Amino acid sequence: MRFKLILAFVDDDKTDKLLDAARKAGATGATIINNARGEGVKKSRGIFGLELTSQRDVLLFLVEEHHCRQILEKIAEVGEFDDTPGTGIALQMDVEDALGVKHQIESLSAELKNKI
């Protein structure tokens, strides 16, 4: 079984909504890294010219490659990534090898057998 890693960088107030959407689209779990910081093309400035940054979360999804595009598109849709600048980004990466995912492989294999 081949896996891909989806990384999504989102405002922390959207994390739960994106996790729910990803799960409905086929993700079997996620790892969340809280309190990440990032900046876009232009730095945000607030009162008195001080830098203004919102808290971001990094969501990591290890997914079976056949589910990847569907999950990625659902995350982007729910997160409004293409509609509103600065709401977040998501990307996918190939995973050469993964350990500790035996339970996930068994679950996905059973799901595929039920579809056939």
Closest CA to 30 of 70, 63, 74, 77: 63
How far, in Å, are 49, 63, 86, 105 from residue 28 at the CA level? 43, 7, 27, 10
Walk me through the domains of the chain, giving residue ranges and CATH numbers.
3-115 (3.30.70.120)
Q: What is the pLDDT of residues 50-96, one digit of tens each?
A: 555 667 899 999 998 889 999 999 999 999 999 988 888 999 999 99
Report pTM.
Answer: 0.78
Query: What is the separation of C-alpha 81 from the centre of its chain, rounded to a whole number of angstroms?
Result: 12
Token pair listed for 81: 């990534």
How far, in Å, are 22, 39, 47, 50 from residue 43 at the CA level? 29, 6, 13, 10
